[in-house]
Amino acid sequence: MSRIGKKAVDLPSGVSASVSGQTIEVKGPKGTRNFSATDDVTMTVEDNSVKITPRGSSKRARQQWGMSRTMVANLVTGVTAGFKKELEITGVGYRAAMNGNVLKLNLGLSHDVEYIAPDGVTVTAPKPTIIEVEGIDEQAVGQVAADIRAWRKPEPYKGKGIRYKGEFIFRKEGKKK
């Protein structure tokens, strides 16, 4: 039995959900998102909550049950509060700045890195050492943050680079004479 799948996803006020076949569409104050589930689960909307049940007792049906419930919960969170990732830049001369909708990064390379965020994701740089990535799609927000971080991952000796806020970097000791 899936402990996650057993729980129904509550719909807060201002959020509506509609199911057509295996696709659920959730509308809220921040926008509209949809998710297509596999044929292993059944989705129903009952009095301000979405209930997901497996169609069999196979291993795949049980796996899809919990995963589908989590995906629907992420849709509801996205259209109400949205998702946000914060990145911190550490290093002498490393900085970020917004130029219109283009993120310009100085990361000690021979050139400045320019990153254009995809539609549905907002990138801001409130300080030269902080980057905020926001949107209603958790996967897209995480992917944009990972793409930005990939330009200069934090290194273990001095800790320089782009890291997620709160990320711990295991530090190594340098060479000794």
Contact between 102 and 116 under an 8 Å Cβ cutoff? The reply is yes
Q: Where in the chain is the domain with CATH 3.90.930.12?
A: 3-80, 83-164
pLDDT at residue 6 is higher than 80:
yes
CATH no., domain 3-80: 3.90.930.12
Amino acid 2: pLDDT = 66
Radius of gyration of the chain (CA): 21
Amino acid 47: pLDDT = 87
Q: Can you name the CATH fold of 83-164?
A: Outer Surface Protein A; domain 3 (3.90.930)
Four-residue CA torsion sign, 158, 164, 165, 169:
negative
Amino acid 94: pLDDT = 94
Four-residue CA torsion sign, 167, 104, 124, 133:
negative
3-class DSSP string for the chain:
CCHHHHCCEECCCCCEEEEECCEEEEEECCEEEEEECCCCEEEEEECCEEEEEECCCCHHHHHHHHHHHHHHHHHHHHHHCCEEEEEEEECCCCEEEEECCEEEEECCCCCCEEEECCCCEEEEEEECCEEEEEECCHHHHHHHHHHHHHCCCCCCCCCCEEEECCCCCCCCCCCCC
Confidence of residue 107 (pLDDT cuts 50, 70, 90): very high
**What Å distances lie between residue 31 and 15, 127, 145, CA to CA?**
10, 28, 21
pLDDT tens-digit readout, 27-86? 999 999 999 999 999 999 988 999 999 998 899 998 899 999 999 999 999 999 999 999
Amino acid 4: pLDDT = 86
Amino acid 106: pLDDT = 94
**From CA 43, how far away is CA 50, in angstroms rounded?**
7
Amino acid 176: pLDDT = 86
pLDDT at residue 1 is higher than 80:
no
- Which of 45, 39, 50, 48 lies closest to 73, judged by CA? 50
Across the chain, mean pLDDT equals: 92
pLDDT tens-digit readout, 140-160? 999 999 999 999 999 999 989
pLDDT tens-digit readout, 87-103? 999 999 999 999 988 99
Contact between 75 and 33 under an 8 Å Cβ cutoff? The reply is yes
pLDDT tens-digit readout, 109-151? 999 999 999 999 999 999 999 999 999 999 999 999 999 999 9
Amino acid 52: pLDDT = 92
